[in-house]
Chains A and B, each alone.
Chain A
Amino acid sequence: MTEIIEPECEIELAEFVRGAVASKSKLRIVGGGSKQALGNSVTGKHVSTSKLHGIVLYEPASLTIVADAGTPLEELEDELSGNGQHLPFEPSDYRNLLGSSGEPTIGAVVACGISGPRRIQTGSCRDSLIGVRFINGDGDVIKSGGRVMKNVTGYDLVKLLAGSYGTLGIITQVSFKLLPAPEKTATVILYDMDDNQAVGAMSKALGSPFDLSGAAHMPKGKNQSMTLIRLEGFEKSVDYRAQKLAESLSHFGEVEIESDSEIAKKRWKQINNIEAFANRPGAVWRLSLKPGDSPGVINAISQSREIEVLYDWGGGLVWLLTPIIDNCGEKIIRNCVNQVGGHSTLIRAPKENFTGNAFHPQSDIVEKISTNLRLQFDPHSILNSGKMSAI
């Protein structure tokens, strides 16, 4: 068992990082440890933010919350739901998908930039994030943004830190803008469509005035295919919009409205957490594409590999389960994505079955900018070194 260092406060953590600089030690940064498998593997002293714990400020009337990085996501979400509010970006819980344990923390959600189905309506994690405090690779405590929802003072380092997997700094505190939690959730369900039709139907719905908060498609497998459209809000409004959408999509085939909120919430939680690929053998990829390109890319990959897919974000996000042979299909998957533009990330694979970069290689100039940025934030390459790139 490796020793885990768990500083009790930001100052102690900053001192620890300065010590690591002096002793030229690399650091492996975790929150609760549930998402360690994401990205490339990292070696180094194991440091956790889990003791930086607690909600620092919560003003429901200002729609803002500030919490220390190690605060369990569940604790934060419970506090919000007690006040009829929620995190707009609907962070996923990947524990079942990754077969991991540990308590997901809010800092790690930000570090990994995790966003669920509502991304198409209210934006991703970085869009709700309005402030961060972090410790850079020199051991300096840095702040950016704050606790107000409109803020253009100085560069938006907040966005850069979200999804940087701990390679630009150890996040110690995060602030979010919030939204009221919906009174009602309903799902409009269409059956038996192929991928092209499904993306077409979701695009039509997403371009309508009816303010969707989810659009996912599960292609035909053992069961018939299902295309799911989520509506959230006040009861009368949800009922009205569901009816209008069902009417406007009726030419795509059979349409059903599932109007029980609890059933709908359960269904979207399964989609959010990619439960369909949990406890299944194989590698899991995450593809980010222009929605209209997705069916073509999936069709092309399926010509040479066995795959199962799940579409979210109206087709803009594709989850893909595939056997581990041929380096988990890296070459064919990345080639097919490169044909149209977008990117692919390896989310889950046994270590011995994948060599290469879990993140999609980018253009030389973007790679160069990214490397130079990393070296400005972490000049000694000690923070999660190797997680996103070679350094």
Chain B
Amino acid sequence: MSQIKMPLPDSSILDRREYLTAGLTVAAGSGNVITDPIETIAYECDALVAYRCPPLAVVLPRSTEEIAAILKFCHLNNLPVVPRGAGTSLAGGALPTADSVVIGVSRLNNTLEIDLPNRFIRVQSGMTNLSVSGAVSSDNFFYAPDPSSQLACAIAGNIAMNSGGAHCLKYGVTTNNLMGVRMVTMKGDIVDIGGPHLDPAGYDLLGIICGSEGQFGIVTEATLRILGKPEGARPILMGFNSNEVAGACVADIIKAGLLPVALEFMDKPAVIACENFAKAGYPTDVEALLIVEVEGSESEIDDQLKKIKRIALHHNPQVLRESDSALQSDLIWKGRKAAFGAMGQIADYMCMDGTIPTSQLPNVLGQMQEMAKGYGLRVANVFHAGDGNLHPLILFDANKPGDQEKCENFGNDILKLCVEVGGCLTGEHGVGIEKRELMNIQFNDQDLEMQMRVKDVFDPKWLLNATKVFPIGSSSSRRNKNSQKAA
């Protein structure tokens, strides 16, 4: 059994099911609405698969205007809405409730404008992250944020969760690469914010919309910054005999003024699992492995790697292997990129996402292994070391009664530790339902009240994805104000 509780569905909505689905069909067009319970099952969860609930209906509109009409209807009828990109959220950001309508943007998947001289692309929000880079790749441009799910995840979801990726140490996350949006508010108003110019005219509304987890509106179009591709890139692999030493090496690289484009850290359990799975040639006798990648021309890369190797040698690496071919570079990355698949082969796992100050890396990794012993569970770590964004993968057995609860408790303890040492609950996955009840650890009541007041501006009735982000008890009075349901 899973532990995160969702509020009871509003019976006044369930009682009006037929009236409401008929109304949706009128507002959205019959070809765009799914109400058959067999078909809505496909939308019952996102990538946090332990939590499932089919919605009342699913709507897949074909235009901004259709979304405006649907939201107007939902607003009028106090019908909760759950926006959905590609459904790859690891935090339950797209989990429906039984009394909600899922509005998916998957049919909004066109490129609207490519402007190379002004370095932006304007797309519909259902486009996948990778296809945005794909649209400008032949012109030697790319879109920088690169979450691991980039093959599948939609720009709409990237904006909702302010997604990051392996290369954000240099290029920033979604919010640093988003220039404008077209968004439909819960009332059905269409609003344009930002654009191809570089800063806001008044308040930075774009900054607050990005990362608002689909609680302010449904983004249908996005203007994204694109960058000229670097001339080349090359990784180097470094193995050390302890997490502490690897952590110290990371600190020294950064202190030396080097800014690698990626700085990935794997602990021993992760190295072994990845090597067994991907046969990437990783040394399995090391305690910690670093993958450091730099960009530039051949000579620039040589120069940077020389500096990095000099630093690494101070830390007595057990392995120091610079890629000397495209094939070897691919192999070095192959293991890292296979991490999630490799873990999935061993056991069920939950992927956590806290961030810590990088100075706390050895301390937190050490404490995590101690906690793992206490819980009798295994944990592997694969993460972005340059920015302190951890991804502990906790292994458990979903078929073993009580194991998932144990795993969730362990995960919560890790996140509490992250906050304790000066970090945060989530670096790039978002709060969703997963970390909702932990928000009180990072924020006090006044902080949360201030955030909820911002939602009051965009969605006064609290209909949009309203059961996420805030502790369910903290948001209940606002959510229940406009419905007849019990708490």
Which residues of A are in contact with B by a Cβ distance under 8 Å?
Answer: 59-64, 84-85, 113, 115, 119-120, 123-124, 126-127, 136, 140-144, 146-160, 162-164, 168, 179-181, 183, 200, 203-204, 206-211, 234, 236-237, 240, 244, 288-292, 313, 316-317, 341-343, 345, 359-360, 362-363, 365-366, 369-370, 372-374, 376-377, 388-389
Residue-wise, chain B 374-393 has the 8 Å CB interface mask toward A (1 for contact) of 00000000001001110000
In the complex, whether B269 has a CB less than 8 A from a CB of chain A is no
Interface set, chain B 111-133, CB cutoff 8 A to A:
115-119
Contact B207 A160 (CB under 8 A): yes
Q: Report yes or no: B200 in contact with A163, Cβ–Cβ below 8 A.
A: yes
Contacts A208-B228, A234-B303, A376-B450 aside, 8 further interface pairs with beta carbons under 8 A come to A59-B359, A149-B387, A153-B425, A157-B208, A157-B450, A163-B200, A207-B119, A376-B456
- Indicate with 1 or 0, residue by residue over B147-175, a CB within 8 angstroms of chain A CB atoms: 00000000000000110100010001101
Return the CB mask of B42-67 against A: 1 if under 8 Å, else 0: 00000000000000000000000000
List A contacts of B201 (CB < 8 A). Answer: 288, 343, 345, 359-360, 362
Chain A min CB distance to B163 (Å): 8
- B458 interface contact, C-beta 8 A: yes
| A160–B208 touching, CB < 8 Å | yes
Chain A positions within 8 Å of B457 at CB level: 369, 372-373, 376
Contacts of A123 in B (CB 8 A): 172, 176
Which B residues from 247 to 297 make CB contacts under 8 A with A?
A: 251-252, 254-259, 296-297
Docked complex Cα distance between A136 and B230 (Å): 44
Contacts of B428 in A (CB 8 A): 150, 152
Q: Which residues of B contact A63 (CB under 8 A)?
A: 254, 358
The interface residues of chain A lying within 8 Å CB-to-CB of B299 are 236, 240
Chain A residues with Cβ below 8 Å from B303 are 234, 236-237
Is B41 part of the binding interface, using a Cβ–Cβ cutoff of 8 Å?
no
Q: What are 19 inter-chain pairs, A to B, with CB distance below 8 A?
A: A60-B255, A62-B251, A62-B359, A150-B427, A151-B424, A152-B426, A153-B431, A154-B447, A155-B208, A155-B455, A156-B210, A156-B212, A160-B204, A180-B257, A236-B300, A237-B300, A289-B197, A290-B196, A373-B203
User: Does B304 reach chain A (CB closer than 8 Å)?
Assistant: yes
On B, residues with C-beta under 8 Å from A are: 115-119, 140-141, 161-162, 164, 168, 172-173, 175-176, 189, 191-193, 195-208, 210-212, 228-231, 251-252, 254-259, 296-297, 299-300, 303-304, 355-359, 384, 387-389, 422-431, 435, 439, 442-443, 446-448, 450-451, 453-458, 469
What residues of chain B lie closer than 8 Å to A343, measured between beta carbons? 197, 201
Contact B176 A127 (CB under 8 A): yes
**Chain B residues with Cβ under 8 A from A140's Cβ?**
446, 450
Q: Is the CB–CB distance between A359 and B202 below 8 Å?
A: yes
Instruction: Name the one of A148, A152, A317 contacting B422, with C-beta atoms under 8 angstroms.
Output: A148
The residues of A that contact B204 with a CB separation of less than 8 Å are 113, 126, 159-160, 162-164
Which residues in A have their C-beta under 8 angstroms from that of B205?
160, 366, 369-370
Q: Lowest 7 CB-CB distances: which A-B pairs, in order?
A: A159-B207, A180-B257, A343-B201, A61-B251, A150-B427, A376-B453, A290-B196
A290 to B180 alpha-carbon distance, docked (Å): 12
The 8 Å CB contact of A147, one of B210, B256, B357, is B357
Chain B residues contacting A209 (CB-CB under 8 Å) are: 140, 228-231
Contact with B162, one of A59, A60, A156, A207 (Cβ below 8 angstroms): A156
CB of B198 within 8 A of CB of A155, answer: no
If A237-B303, A316-B198 touch, does A61 touch B211 (CB 8 Å cutoff)? Answer: no
Closest Cβ of chain B to A244, distance in Å, is: 8
A373 to B204, CA, bound (A): 11
A126 touches B207 (CB 8 A): yes
How near does chain B come to A126, taking the closest CB pair, in angstroms? Answer: 6
* Bound CA–CA A181/B424 (angstroms): 27
Chain B contacts for A60, CB-based, 8 A: 254-255
Task: Report the separation of the CA atoms of residues A374 and B200 in the bound assembly, to the nearest whole angstrom.
Answer: 16
Closest chain B CB from A375 CB (angstroms): 8
Taking a contact as CB atoms under 8 Å apart, the answer to whether B193 and A366 are in contact is yes
